[in-house]
Structure 1
């Protein structure tokens, strides 16, 4: 059912949009697919423990998903592939904060069961052997890790994997058997990951674990040399339709995080947070868009 998808290449949805006037949706001619798993948007106060997972029939929440993450994140990939983004019974934001590990894991398992079912449906009815990018953010990245392990890692489908964008959660460098960390802009069959903070952010004790994979989206390497803002081809912030803002921030890998300077834009006086989690993709919007297409072209030998 199309109602169970936030984005499909043959429906009119926010993943078809592009910011500004110079970029175009290219899904009609794209030679690859993108399976995008959105982050946590289910943040409303739960009335009791029955509501650890969102309902697929929550029209207000579905609209919030479409107008936030599908517009701002999934649309990045519409130049590289046909975008498929399933709705799923996402776990409530409190699974990342509340006590009660068992119930939290059940909520995440429920969410992942939907993601896996959607992917298997996509694979059966839509993929037709085409190359595929797995892209995700935050809670979506947790599910993408499991999906890669269950369907790609050490399995025949690995040969169709262009790359995985596992953004917004710590992913270990040795997370997979035969899906390595990407070390260059054109490498395929690999994954990239980063979590973004302001330069003066200090991770809490125990948060900066050794072995976490971090790829700089301005250089597409794991080098710790600071990449200047001049390499940033455009970020997309509050005003999507205004288009990308060039040279928005530089970026430097330190430990398990990606650290940037404070972005400068109209209204930036109100942008006081030091954890740039919600903008992990947006700060590097055009660079990610171009990189996804580069990897598809490399995968196809173009």
Structure 2
């Protein structure tokens, strides 16, 4: 089960999780006595349009043609960065730890949330995320503690979204985006606030990546079938061609899977030449033709990604690159769906 979240907070395929976040930690000043998030305070947002943060970053090759828009909002829920096996803060992360905050901001916020910064304003809450070990409890007591940890984490995400709606949204269309543990929570959030609700008309699309989305999870929201469909969901989990881990083989359903090169939910194949570029070895370096994409009964397959240094990348589980192997494709598709939503108008 651990394989499902292998290095889930590590976005660089080659570099993996480094200890380089210490150099950023000094910029954060938190009160050690405050751990309950107050989402009217910008300190409790990893990304927010009212402050400069790593989600505003643009890979160097894309800067010349960067044309930002602010008419749509993106609510991004980050994956697990609290991966310490010793669980120094207990089952849920501390919001006052500067090193963990730096790790979050300069991994997932920089390398994933930045995908969405051209189409709209990016909001990403800090939350008391569950420790990575919550996904694979080893005892009944651990199972109870893990469920409680996920409940607390979701309560924070929900509180952040309510604050966002009440204070910042002002009727704008919304994109929901998430990865890994973020998707564990976004599945619930989209179901609670959008699925069959009035707010569904404001949903441009939901990119729920890295965690399986059951085919019957939503009542009204359907998987996206075309590149410009709106109000729908997209999801994929990436593995090496021909590989399915045991936990996938044990699933009694075929999870929703979208091809992030063709943007179809049918059985499709896209060769690596169709991949315009991924961000896999450094934020300012775009690797073209890095990965192919083939849907395969609830998962996404690609042959081994091609980039300098990939000889050291030996895993068959490409969870770390779910977004970044297809960085430019996702970036362009978000823009395509946003433009389609605007042309269609609000239902």
TM > 0.5 fold call:
yes
Q: Secondary structure at the match of 1:234?
A: coil
Match of 2:260 among 217, 225, 228: 217
Q: 1:268-287 residue pairs with structure 2 within 5 A?
A: 268-287=310-329
Q: Secondary structure at the match of 2:330?
A: helix
Q: Secondary structure at the match of 2:102?
A: helix
C-alpha distance in 2 between matches for 1:122 and 1:26:
24
Deviates further, 125-134 or 257-266 = 257-266
Q: 1:12-51 residue pairs with structure 2 within 5 A?
A: 12-23=52-63, 26-27=67-68, 29-46=69-86, 51=90
**How far is 1:248 from its partner?**
1.1
CA-to-aligned-CA distance 1:183-218 (integer Å, 9 cap, x gap): 010000100000000114232164454231000000
Paired position in structure 2 for 1:145: 187
TM-score (structure 2 length as normaliser): 0.83
Paired position in structure 1 for 2:302: 260
How many correspondences in the alignment?
A: 299
Gaps of 5+ in 2: 1-40
> CA 1:34–1:221 in structure 2 vs 1: closer, same or farther (change >3 Å)?
same
Paired position in structure 2 for 1:55: 94
CA-to-aligned-CA distance 1:90-121 (integer Å, 9 cap, x gap): 00000011233221111000000000000000
C-alpha distance in 2 between matches for 1:195 and 1:20:
28
**How far is 1:177 from its partner?**
1.0
CA-to-aligned-CA distance 1:200-258 (integer Å, 9 cap, x gap): 4232164454231000000000222311112111110021122x211111111111110
C-alpha distance in 2 between matches for 1:115 and 1:105:
15
C-alpha distance in 1 between matches for 2:268 and 2:166:
43
> CA 1:47–1:8 in structure 2 vs 1: closer, same or farther (change >3 Å)?
closer
C-alpha distance in 2 between matches for 1:75 and 1:177:
30
Q: Is 1:76 aligned with 2:115? A: yes
C-alpha distance in 1 between matches for 2:338 and 2:272:
25
> CA 1:47–1:37 in structure 2 vs 1: closer, same or farther (change >3 Å)?
closer
C-alpha distance in 2 between matches for 1:108 and 1:25:
37
Q: Is the 8 A contact 1:37 1:135 kept in 2?
A: yes
Match of 2:196 among 154, 158, 161: 154
Q: Is the 8 A contact 2:259 2:268 kept in 1?
A: no
C-alpha distance in 1 between matches for 2:57 and 2:76:
15
C-alpha distance in 1 between matches for 2:150 and 2:66:
32
TM-score (structure 1 length as normaliser): 0.95
Q: Is 1:132 aligned with 2:174? A: yes
Paired position in structure 1 for 2:271: 228
Match of 1:174 among 213, 216, 233: 216
Runs of 4+ in 1 over 4 A off after TM superposition: 24-27
